[in-house]
Amino acid sequence: MLTHTPFLLTGTRHGRPFEADATYRATGQPKPVVVFVHGFKGFKDWGHFPLLADFFAEQGFVFIKLNLSHNGIVVGGTGDLEDLDAFGRNNFSIELDDIGQVIDALFAADAPPVPVAEMDLSRLFLAGHSRGGGLVLLKAAEDPRVRAVATWAGIADVDQRWPQPVLDEWQRTGVVHVPNLRTGQDLPLHYQIVEDYIANRPRLDIPHNVRRRLRQPLLLVHGDADETVPLAAAHALQELKPNAELLLVPGAGHMFGGAHPWPNGTLPEPAHLVAQQTADFFKRQA
């Protein structure tokens, strides 16, 4: 039987609570730990992500997934995007700090969310989907506690290189909106995300950090039919880190066959392939 343990954190910088959970088979023996980071407009229980947690737990890992604090999910809420003000106030620095806070909680001497006997934190791995893939690259580059990294349909840069007229109008109005086709919502993005990137560019520059600072083994996974993040992103990341392993999934789109809600009790076939190859990659780093 698998153990599912939810836990709650409160952002040390912003004071907003956010949820995470751990899935593992309690054996009293230390197991490698995977922290999984969702992407833009995503959340920890999107679609087939809970099945991913179970898969990795069955493979002998402790699997941690989190809701980034400003992803629009409300603790105790509907479980879907509903706090659009928080969504608009999100930025990459906040997200990196959220991931760091989860890692710090695992290493806490006093009452970590998973019993110490169940975790081998010398084998701490990060996996991220889409924008979350970019985040785990940046977090690993700044945190030597991370042993290895996997990106699934990961972005290669957070700099969108918006045309200057777009930036000028965005700064003037303070906000732009992006559609969420799944829910029909118009999601706000406040101009502060641009200001945060400019102010923290050394920390948030994916190409620079992957080329100069990322020392850990890296697995790049991408569907060759990705309709959201072009396949060129995976090739760009491999050029930055030539010893990275590259797995191209034939016919797979951005979500590797998944959707929300996900009505089936098994992983979609492309996602199962990604999970198995990622688990094997992490096991080789032990």
> What pLDDT sits at residue 48?
98
> What pLDDT sits at residue 198?
96
Question: What's the pLDDT tens digit per position in 113-125?
Answer: 999 999 999 999 9
Question: What's the pLDDT tens digit per position in 212-227?
Answer: 999 999 999 999 999 9
- Over residues 42-60, the mean pLDDT reads 98
Give the chain's mean pLDDT. 97
Give the integer Cα–Cα distance in Å for 63 and 123: 12
> What pLDDT sits at residue 59?
98
> What pLDDT sits at residue 248?
98
Residue ranges of domains in the chain, CATH in brackets: 3-159+201-284 (3.40.50.1820)
Question: What's the pLDDT tens digit per position in 182-199?
Answer: 999 999 999 999 999 999
Given a cut of 80, whether residue 158 has pLDDT beyond it is yes
> What pLDDT sits at residue 208?
98
Give the integer Cα–Cα distance in Å for 71 and 56: 24
- Over residues 157-176, the mean pLDDT reads 95
- Over residues 30-55, the mean pLDDT reads 98
With bands split at pLDDT 50, 70 and 90, how would you rate the model's confidence at 137?
very high
Please tell me whether the peptide bond between 165 and the residue prior to it is cis, using omega within 30 degrees of 0.
Answer: no
pLDDT above 90 covers a percentage of the chain that reads 99
Which of 281, 125, 149, 153 shows the shortest CA–CA distance to 210?
A: 149
Which of 217, 33, 237 shows the shortest CA–CA distance to 115?
A: 33
Given a cut of 80, whether residue 286 has pLDDT beyond it is no
Give the integer Cα–Cα distance in Å for 180 and 177: 10
Q: Give CA 167 to chain center in angstroms.
A: 27
> What pLDDT sits at residue 194?
97
Give the integer Cα–Cα distance in Å for 182 and 194: 25
Give the integer Cα–Cα distance in Å for 51 and 42: 15
Given a cut of 80, whether residue 101 has pLDDT beyond it is yes
> What pLDDT sits at residue 74?
97
> What pLDDT sits at residue 76?
96
Given a cut of 80, whether residue 173 has pLDDT beyond it is yes
Question: What's the pLDDT tens digit per position in 124-136?
Answer: 999 999 999 999 9
DSSP string, 248-278: EETT--TTTT--SS---SS--HHHHHHHHHH
